[in-house]
Structure 1
């Protein structure tokens, strides 16, 4: 991986885990110092993140971390539901029985992972991977690219939401695959939509919990980013 790409990924990890707090202005001088880079490659990374919706950029005011806004999160979940259900319907047409059996095996292994604080980040990663594997069975790279981008953009909210939903989430993954194995596309699509969809009031409650997490220990940031960014060689 090129050093500029590595810098982009590291800054994105900080942003998506809210190591920098919602609404906070990015101190480019300090961040460049932490990463051991000049401001030029850092500015390139920040411009890219702003163009992808991870940051807000204002002329003469620099870059800010996007706030945890319930309405914005709702629009991302609505978009996610449409994209993932579309990918599932193509997967139902195109995926082989062997491919669906492999997805079922992955879902079963994920369900059997220990449920504790040490494994929390891995459980989130497994949840994201299930949805990406399902999208990959569509045979359409654009669906997979969109879902990966959505996973990045809602990672923190999803992390908080999963704290009370992990067992139900894994069980629903298994049920979705069972419907696909039975070639019952409509049942699989309906369950996936319910699995993803959140009401605005639910999102508001998750965001309240998210702010509490951010302003206490923020376990996701501690795991994903660590206590300090590594210098870029």
Structure 2
């Protein structure tokens, strides 16, 4: 039983990575036989992993037709960004009320240590990793595991578009575009216990990128289907 559970978890993690990075093309039908061979697993753990990913929004299932990669369209990504803003706004509001001073200090040190990575031309993969780590760290200060779980799900589903977004921002925006200043303002509000200010700052920080969603989805398509 343990081996079976471990196999499902392994397959789940790998297929989730593939779906998050659009290794399957948008709306592409998954070939279960080929995927089973590629992942060196039987159809049973693969099917269980695929069903979990359907429930989490990474894949779609059409009765009689099988499993498909999720779509990539501006409205869906817009919805996810709005959901992220709502989740994080509530999380930092609670963090300002619940976080211990030493926890805030630890996150402040992480922000300072990673500051050199926020620079024009930085690897978008590394920028997204560092950025997600900081935002999840903030959410954890709320002491609400469900908010963290929701945020992790949304992060996974917008991961590819965020890579495009940060690459574009770095290449086009110059020195002022890649900065930790918004993070610093949010964390300072949490440190002061100013729940309303913290919530407002993080919502503004996330919603600034909404204007670029349509363009970033176009860029994502151009990279996915590049010859």
Shorter-chain TM range is 0.7 to 0.9
Distance 1:54 1:100, change over 3 A: same
Count of aligned residue pairs for this structure pair: 217
Q: Distance in 2 between matches of 1:119 and 1:206?
A: 17
Q: Distance in 2 between matches of 1:80 and 1:169?
A: 20
Aligned position for 1:89: 93
Structure 2 residue aligned with 1:54? 58
Q: Is the 8 A contact 2:139 2:147 kept in 1?
A: yes
Per the alignment, residue 181 of structure 2 pairs with: 171
Deviations 1:71-113 (A, max 9, x none): 1111111111111110101100011222111111111222222
Deviates more, 1:162-171 or 1:31-40: 162-171
What are structure 1's unaligned runs of at least 5 residues? 218-233
Distance 1:164 1:180 in 2: 30
1:1-233 to 2 correspondences below 5 Å: 2-113=6-117, 115=119, 119-165=123-169, 167-168=177-178, 170-197=180-207, 201-216=211-226
Higher relative helix content: 2
Q: Normalized against structure 1, the TM-score is what?
A: 0.85
Cα distance in 1, alignment partners of residues 109 and 218 from structure 2: 35
- Structure 1 residue ranges (4+ consecutive) displaced by more than 4 angstroms after TM superposition: 114-119, 198-201
Kindly indicate whether the alpha-carbon contact (under 8 Å) linking 1:87 and 1:143 is maintained by their aligned counterparts in 2: yes
- After superposition, the CA RMSD in angstroms is 2.1
Distance 1:95 1:201, change over 3 A: closer
Secondary structure at the residue paired with 1:64? strand
For 2:118 and 2:102, how far apart are their aligned partners in 1? 27
Q: Is the 8 A contact 2:139 2:148 kept in 1?
A: yes
The runs of 5 or more residues in structure 2 that have no matched partner are 171-176
Q: Is the 8 A contact 1:81 1:196 kept in 2?
A: yes
Query: Relative contact order: is structure 1 or structure 2 higher (C-alpha 8 Å, sep ≥ 6)?
Result: 1
